[in-house]
A = this chain, B = another copy of it.
């Protein structure tokens, strides 16, 4: 187990990992960030040491880099110790992005992080990789301090899981925006959609599979409604027309074109 942890970065992931570690009484000794004011803002809340100077980075068992993907390599150079583990938290970055002589790993939480929001950390799955099995075991143990779910996966798998998150979160959010815009044009507020949006997800969280939860005109092959919707979109937005068409075809294929 890691006795001492340093968080590198002070953005959304750093904010939530800091909280998750402290809530689970992990010994977080410092926050290192290139912009001091941000490190200070995060660290002072919890009475942790912070710095923006490489010379002041504390010695620790593990450094968790929580920066954007682009910044991982550069900041990983700054960690001035060899006898430690350094991990990044990115879903789509190989372990080789880490550039020091230390041992290396990955500690990827599958979640969308927003500062100031409260999250159930014990429900966030962690995807772990390390260069040796001893570090893998220690990372799994660290993840298990925070969460009920953790998995050992290599880069190829992690990238695909990250992509699943893009479908499940980023793309669905964009569909909510499309739905909001359709409503706004009819002078109906986004609030009117929240009940159906919430129920759609509540069903899944309660254990209904996406396959069984599917409803709507494509699911029941209601060509008359599909054509009405397509003709509305054809007249207003060719991109939405294409997306509607592809998603509808994909649903029809799944439910009505089985062998």
What residues make up the interface of A, taking CB atoms closer than 8 Å to B?
Answer: 68-69, 92, 110-112, 114, 117, 119-120, 123-125, 149, 151, 153, 157, 159-180, 182-183, 185-186, 188, 190-201, 203-206, 208-211, 213-220, 222, 224-225, 228-229, 232-233, 239-240, 242-244, 246-247, 249-251, 253-254
Contact = CB atoms under 8 A, between A and B. Distances in A.
Q: Number of copies of this chain in the oligomer?
A: 2
A198 to B, nearest CB: 6
A177 B160 CA distance: 15
**3 A-B pairs with least C-beta separation:** A170-B216, A177-B210, A168-B179
A151 B114 CA distance: 34
Given A225-B92, A247-B174, A164 B149 contact: no
A185 B163 CA distance: 12
Nearest to A236: B160
B200 A186 contact: no
Interface majority SS on A: helix, strand, loop or mixed?
A: helix
Given A173-B200, A204-B194, A112 B215 contact: yes
A178 B173 contact: no
Contacts of A232: 159-160, 163
A92 to B, nearest CB: 5
Contact of A228 (B92, B171, B213): B92
